[in-house]
Amino acid sequence: MSRKALAPAIVTIVILAIVVITVMLPLALTTQDPVGVLETFLFGPFRNLRYLGNIVEMATPTMLCGLAVALMFRSGMFNLGVEGAFYLGGLGTVAAALLLPMPWWAAAPVALAAGAVIGSTVCVLPGVMRAHFDTSELVTSLMLNFVALFVGLFVLNYFLRDPAAGAMASYKIPLEAQLPRIVPGTRIHLGTVLALLACIGGAIYLFRTAGGFEARLVGSNPSFAAHLGLPLRRVMVRSAALGGLIAAFAGGIEMLGLYTRFSWQALPGTGWVGVTVAILARDNPLLLIPSALFLAYLQVGGDLVGRNFDVPIEGVGLINALVLLIATAAAIIRNPMLLRLVSGERSAGLTKSLPKAEAH
Amino acid sequence: MTSNALVAFEAISKAYGNGTRALTEVSFSVARGVIHAISGENGAGKSTLMKILFGLEQPSSGRLLLDGGVAEIRSPAAAVEQGIGMVHQHFTLVPSLTVAENIFLGQEQRSGIFVDREKTSRRVAALSKRFNLAVDPDARVSTLSVAAQQKVEILKALSRDIRLLILDEPTAVLSPPETEELFTRLRHLRDAGLTILFISHKLREVRALASHVTVLRAGRVVGDAQLADLDNDALSRLVMGGATSVARPVRASRSVGAPLVALKNVSQSRGRPGERVSNLDLTIYAGEVVGVAGVDGGGQQGLVALLSGRKAAESGTIVFGGRDMKSGSTRDWRSAGLAHLPADRHKDGSAMSMSLVDNAVAGAHRKPAYRMGALLDRRKMVEATRDMISEYGVRSPGPEAPLSALSGGNAQKLIAAREFASAPSFLIADEPTRGIDIAAAAFLHERMRNMAGTGVGILLVTSDLDELLTLSDRIVVMFGGRIVARFDTIDGLTPDRLGPFMLGLEETA
């Protein structure tokens, strides 16, 4: 029984392993030291505390962006505004920290809240347009990301730019607004704790509250939700608002946790990784945590290989692309034959060709 | 006769993997140069048979003869090669392309590697002149009326040099004058030598157009005759079948109460044809079952849409439980006491990928009984679901299983359990037992009778005349969006009596 429940996870893990090997092995073989490349890629990230810290730092914002995506996907909204919301959330947070006069203890919370509200518009607008005018939220949110970028660049250049910085960057974020580091020897900051709490909160919201239940109903069958008399539009806008707030909040904690100035001049891509994280986690908020950590581990391993060997860092991008392809290929991941095989359920053909299956 | 046959079906059977038998030993032939009608109720097998002829499906057994020789039609392309064209009920045109581009889609007129627009337009003009079907070759399809689009579909079929044209319910989308015009064109085509297979359940149209009719019922041929040899009664008996009035089980107490739902002169002219209604007058009293009969597209769906808050009435008044509900939302209707078993239980009645628990409490999830502070009390939800499962005898792998794990009958029982649990005063039962097993159907029938006994007003919409006559206290018949007959008692009523009204051959109200 428990084995049956675990089957999808096992299939996923096995397939991920195959993907990693398929990409990394040929890449490694082209170098002088194939064993070293593979070893660095697979075990390098665990070799010291700083690298482990890198994994957690990297997983923190993608976990939150994944949560934003998962909440919106669950309610049937393919809203890709997370990327723009993340960017604008970071900018809004820095702007609030720089421009609003605040007592020291309020600096971080107020800046984060302001950034979340400002950034969330990138998800909310497409959500409102979808709910009321039936526009495709996929298209509008995708395009709005670039609007967010250029609005952000304008604000950065004309209101926040520090002429002494020597590059296009904001004034320094006040020290009292920065999030405290919590693990010595790494840059892991308070935001990581907030991200973990948010994922747990997201799971409670989706599966234990009336609002989350309604979002799932609308997402899994809007006609049914309408038949029950649920307020479809309100549910959609609520999901978009929640998603936007979370993604923008992620941008804020990223800024206050790791940066001293705002200097993004292009969309940072964290929101896109969040989409991958959410798809890999099947939109399950609790699974976002391992899925974000796994993708961050791949990234850190790839960075290490890129720094130490003559291997293009794009190899990791290739792995990410394949992971995304296969994670979305329900035909593979949810293949009933594969699941049966893993869960050890017997069928005539299987027991014959795989006698070992009975030993388990 | 057989020697002159263009098409002959010989003992064609079709069974699907899940055990459904769509066709059983269907044999008949279609003579050359005539209009041959195929009639029957929904689900009688008309469409399946045409899909086989057009190569969209393969028969499980039996064979198809074309010109007396065995033909195997593996695909629509093969059908076209054999000279068979089909106009589907739902058009298959590209709205953003022009008429000419649509007609020659897939057989573009080229010069070199380019599509020759001039030549295409010229050929379409020639074609439409030859068959006397006037269309503007350069108009975009999206700008055309439905009737004009149908002409384009017919031209598209004719452009492939066909000798047999299949028309699947061609008049479903047309107004009466457009229908008349279509019939004139079809007669011209027949006179030009084309054989036409005309699929329709509207017997008036069959009589007006065809010379020969084949009637299917439950996948079998139950009648095959020249129309001249059949009178209206005989024809409608063939279509409606041998369903005779069944002995009515007596309800415990039948006391009809106060008016519950009242429609006065209600019209709604927007939406698909089956959703349009005009001048409806209907009052449903507490404690009675009002049956609504009619063929598909008669307006029953429009009535249900109005009474469940899915659509607002354009004119007239609707009152439910003393409140004006002319433009009430589904939420308004439900909070006033509506429960609704929808006709399409997959699309509207449930979320198949969600668990039994989720499906069983959906809609009631904001009730205090399921709350625990700000959260949902999952334990109570599971408990309530278990109660429903045992009370309604739902066979399931457990409350946490997805609804898709249940058979149709068991899923419908769970949906009914959810709807009935809301203690409604008014129930819409739309095809409540379609496609479910007899035991489950009998169970739901008893439940509904008991509900009526306790004062619930029930609107029963069903295409199953036995069910209609078993459950209803009185019956209205709808056709073309109007109520065309009312029977205030069902004593002595038989399907034969209802048939002509349902098919629009007669009208009393």
- What per-residue confidence (pLDDT) applies to A139? 94
Distance from CA of B401 to the nearest CA of A (A): 12
Which residue is associated with the tokens 């009526």? B452
Asked whether B8 and B2 are in contact (CB, 8 A), the reply is yes
> With pLDDT > 90 as the criterion, what percentage of chain B qualifies?
46
Chain A residues touching B330 at Cβ < 8 A: 226-229
Contact B214, B223 (CB under 8 A): yes
Question: Which of B347, B355, B367, B385 is most worth mutating to test chain A (most A CB atoms within 10 A of its CB)?
Answer: B347
CA distance B52 to A91: 63
Q: Which residue of A has its CA nearest to B305?
A: A227
Q: What is the pLDDT of residue A357?
A: 35
Sign of the dihedral through C-alpha A94, A95, A96, A99: positive
pLDDT confidence of residue A62: 96
Find, in chain B, the residue whose alpha carbon is nearest to that of A205. Answer: B375
CB contact under 8 A, B351 and A220: yes
Class of the CATH domain delimited by A53-296: mainly alpha
What angle in degrees, to the nearest 10, is found between the helix axes of A336-343 and A2-29?
110
DSSP tag of B140 = B
- Cβ-in-10-Å burial (0-12, 13-18, 19+) of B78 comes to middle
Look at residue A332 in the predicted model and tell me its pLDDT: 63
Chain B nearest C-alpha distance from A5 (Å): 12
Nearest by CB to B349, which of A207, A220, A227? A227
DSSP label at A75?
A: T
Angstrom distance (rounded) from CA B269 to CA B264: 16
Q: Do domains B2-240 and B256-337+424-509 have the same CATH topology?
A: yes
Please name the CATH architecture into which domain B256-337+424-509 falls: 3-Layer(aba) Sandwich (3.40)
pLDDT tens for B39-98 read 887 667 888 899 899 998 899 999 999 988 888 899 988 998 899 999 987 788 898 899
The full set of domain ranges for chain A reads: 53-296
Q: Which two tokens stand for residue B399?
A: 């409350």
Could A213 and B358 be called an inter-chain contact, meaning their C-beta atoms sit closer than 8 Å? yes
* Chain A interface test: which of B301, B330, B353, B371 (most A C-beta within 10 Å): B330
Q: Can you tell me the distance from the alpha carbon of B207 to that of A337, in angstroms, rounded to the nearest whole number? A: 54
pLDDT at residue A13, rounded to an integer: 81
Q: What is the CATH number of domain B2-240?
A: 3.40.50.300
From the list A208, A223, A229, which residue is nearest B378 (CB)?
Answer: A208
CA distance A56 to A52: 7
Whether B320 contacts chain A with CB within 8 A: no
**Lowest mean pLDDT: which of A159-168, B11-20, B22-31?**
B11-20
**What is the predicted pLDDT for the residue at A3?**
61
* Sequence spans of domains, chain B: 2-240, 256-337+424-509, 352-422
Angle, CA of A330, A332 and A333, to the nearest 5° = 65
pLDDT in tens, B79-90: 988 999 999 877
Of A210, A217, A227, the CB nearest to B340: A227
- Work out the average pLDDT over B346-370: 93
Angstroms from B346 CA to nearest CA on chain A: 8
Contact: B310, A226; criterion CB under 8 Å: yes
Interface residue B345 vs chain A (CB under 8 A)? no
Contacts across the A-B interface (CB distance below 8 Å): 64
In tens, the pLDDT along B294-304 reads 877 788 999 99
Res B390 pLDDT > 90: yes
Say yes or no for a CB contact (<8 Å) between B329 and A229.
yes
B415 contacts: CB under 8 Å, gap ≥ 6: B341, B345, B349, B350, B359
Six-digit token pair at B95? 């709205």
What's CA A212's distance to the chain center, in Å? 20
Which residue has better confidence, B11 or B232?
B11
What is the rounded distance in angstroms from the CA atom of residue A232 to the CA atom of residue A239? 11
Are the beta carbons of B376 and A217 separated by less than 8 Å? no
Question: How many H helices and E strands in chain B?
Answer: 16, 24
B365 touches chain A (CB under 8 A): yes
Q: One digit per residue, pLDDT tens: chain A, 360 residues? A: 456 667 777 877 888 888 888 888 888 888 888 888 888 888 999 999 999 999 999 999 999 999 999 999 999 999 999 999 999 999 999 999 999 988 988 999 999 999 999 999 999 999 999 999 999 999 999 999 999 999 999 999 999 999 998 888 999 999 999 999 999 999 999 999 999 999 999 999 999 999 999 999 999 999 999 999 999 999 999 999 999 999 999 999 999 999 999 999 999 999 999 998 998 888 999 999 999 999 999 889 888 888 888 777 777 778 777 777 876 776 566 666 666 666 665 443 333 333 333 333
Residues 6+ apart with CB under 8 A from B215: B38, B39, B40, B221, B222, B223, B224, B235, B238, B239
What DSSP string describes B294-361? --TTSSHHHHHHHHTTSS--SEEEEEETTEE-TT--HHHHHHTTEEEE-S-TTTTS--TTSBHHHHHH
Kind plus residue range of the DSSP H or E element containing B403: none
What tokens were used for A62? 């993608």
